Amino acid sequence: MKGLKGKNELIIGSCVLIALAVLFFGIEYLKGINIFKPSNSYSAIYTDVAGLQVSAPVTINGLKVGQVSNIEYQYDNPGHVKVDFSLDKALSVPQGSQAIIEQDLLGTSSVVLHFTQSKTYLERGSTLEGLTSKGLMGEVSQKLLPNVDKLFGQVDTLMTSLNALVANPALNSSVTRLDEITLNINRTVRDINASVRAVDPILANVNHISRNVDGITGNLGTVSGDLATLSGMLTELPVDSMMNNLVALSANLHSLSNDLADPNSTLGALTHDRALYNNLNNAAASLDSLLIDVKAHPKRYISIKLL
């Protein structure tokens, strides 16, 4: 009995150790870490990691060659964060290479390696130059928003000037006088038509027409002065500055459109990479299926039996 009891204890202990090992390797596998694959460790120092997480991919030319293994704040160097990442053992890193943190359209951060043409390579454990990219929205903000702000300022100035012009009593007075002139012209035309039909009424209406013409002449003189005032106000409007800003904005929009259409640019690579879109959809579907199965059958993934 004593030997059988000791044998059972040995079996239970072995099962527990095996379960713990499976749990450890399973967690590491879910993190994307392959502990059986040899790798080299490197690091980089950043002032802003832009939401970078452990196990985030490390890529070069779009190909994953490693992943982030550790992120820690440097308390002895305030304002700096050290990021460690493991790279494929067969990958050699030239001196002067950079590790740039970039964000995709969904806001997920990753490390992109930019290699130099140097024939001298860094030793394992070396520190690369760390940079943080502004990303797609940062480029758009840098190129487009300053010109948009300037344009809004010019539009605001133009609207203020137009409001002042509309509220000017001289303009209202000119419109009123133009109505009076139109009314007088209509009356004159009716009088002329009546005069054509009868010669005698023409002689009777000559004095009346003369007085109307005198009134029209006076009103035209007043309108001419008002139009001169209006022309001066229009001349003071910053039309040239606004047009220059519109031309600059159009040029920036054209440059941005070319970047989006060019698959070799940063923006074009994001909009033309169909594989990125398909991989994101497949990853989301696989993760959803895994979570549903874990909730429905948790014992399939973690099962510890005691004999």
What is the domain partition of the chain in residue ranges?
Answer: 1-30+276-307, 38-133, 139-251
The rounded distance, in Å, linking the Cα atoms of 296 and 292 is 6
Say whether pLDDT at 139 is over 60.
Answer: no
The rounded distance, in Å, linking the Cα atoms of 190 and 209 is 11
- Give yes or no for a contact between 113 and 126, defined as CB atoms under 8 angstroms apart: no
Domain 38-133, CATH among 1.10.3470, 1.10.10, 2.40.30, 2.60.40:
2.40.30
Q: Which residues pair with 98 in a beta bridge?
A: 114, 129
Confidence class for position 256, pLDDT limits 50, 70, 90:
confident
The rounded distance, in Å, linking the Cα atoms of 96 and 115 is 7
Say whether pLDDT at 150 is over 50.
Answer: yes
Cα 211 to Cα 178, 184, 187, 215: the distances in Å are 18, 11, 12, 6
Confidence class for position 194, pLDDT limits 50, 70, 90:
confident
Say whether pLDDT at 60 is over 90.
Answer: yes
Pairwise pLDDT comparison (145 vs 84), residue with the higher score:
84
Predicted pLDDT of residue 255: 79
Range among 24-28, 211-215, 301-305 with highest mean pLDDT value: 211-215
Q: How many CB atoms lie within 10 A of CB 90?
A: 9
DSSP state of 252: H
Say whether pLDDT at 110 is over 80.
Answer: yes
Average pLDDT over residues 176-198: 78
Predicted pLDDT of residue 307: 44
Q: How many CB atoms lie within 10 A of CB 231?
A: 9
Structure tokens at 204: 């009777």
Say whether pLDDT at 151 is over 90.
Answer: no
Predicted pLDDT of residue 214: 72
Q: Which residues pair with 73 in a beta bridge?
A: 81
User: Over the chain, what is the mean pLDDT?
Assistant: 76
Predicted pLDDT of residue 95: 92
